[in-house]
Amino acid sequence: MMPPASRPSANTENRPRPRRRLLVLVFLGLIIGLALVGKAQTDTSPKSPADTTQAIADTTASHRVLAYYFYTTQRCASCRKIEAYTAEAVTSGFADELKDGKLVFQAVNIEKEGNEHFVKDYQLFTKSVVLVEERSGRQVAWKNLPKVWELLGDKDGFIRYIQGETRGYLSGKQS
């Protein structure tokens, strides 16, 4: 006599055994864990301002300044203008310093994985230009330049502001 179709079969050979299922789950967990560890060991995305500056330029300068423009993925015309004016101010006013690594300019998307720490590090609440002074590879000072928003309609004033603040950081006399 055959069992009714609605009754489960007494044959347990085709059922996964609990111990076997547990071993499979442990094995999968181990593989995923090893993959994540491997990614962490090969991940070169910057985690702190000091790590970031190493990635920006390999220099042995005992004193250097980093000029950052921090932005988000969503960008308006004003945000793009701040980046363009800042880049122009830095490149037109400090070609020699850029060339020898005493000054580094970098635009950083703070929403990109690995860059989130900048929000806390530099107390960012909007798109910003930040100058960072390093001595012997260590950050010793930083300054957010909030007037970039006020001077957005005055390109020459904007460039003078960025260059003046940058010059102060390069000379070691931050304002």
Average pLDDT over all residues of the chain: 78
CA terminus-to-terminus distance, the chain:
95
Does 4 score more than 50 pLDDT? yes
- Using pLDDT thresholds of 50, 70 and 90, give the confidence band for residue 173: confident
Q: Which residues pair with 138 in a beta bridge?
A: 135
- Using pLDDT thresholds of 50, 70 and 90, give the confidence band for residue 172: confident
Assessment of whether the complete model's pTM goes beyond 0.85: no
- Using pLDDT thresholds of 50, 70 and 90, give the confidence band for residue 138: very high
**Window from 7-16, 58-67, 123-132, 145-154 with minimum mean pLDDT:** 7-16
3-state helix, strand, coil in the chain (%, to 5): 45, 20, 35
Does 156 score more than 50 pLDDT? yes
Does 64 score more than 70 pLDDT? yes
Confidence (pLDDT) at 11: 53
Would you kindly state where each structural domain of the chain is located, as residue ranges?
16-44, 49-171
14-51 pLDDT tens trace: 555 566 665 555 555 545 554 544 443 333 334 444 44
Does 9 score more than 80 pLDDT? no
Confidence (pLDDT) at 71: 96
Does domain 49-171 fall into CATH 3.40.50.11440? no
Query: Residue 14's Cα: distance from chain center in Å?
Result: 52
Most confident of 41-45, 51-55, 114-118: 114-118
Q: Assign 63 to helix, strand or coil.
A: strand
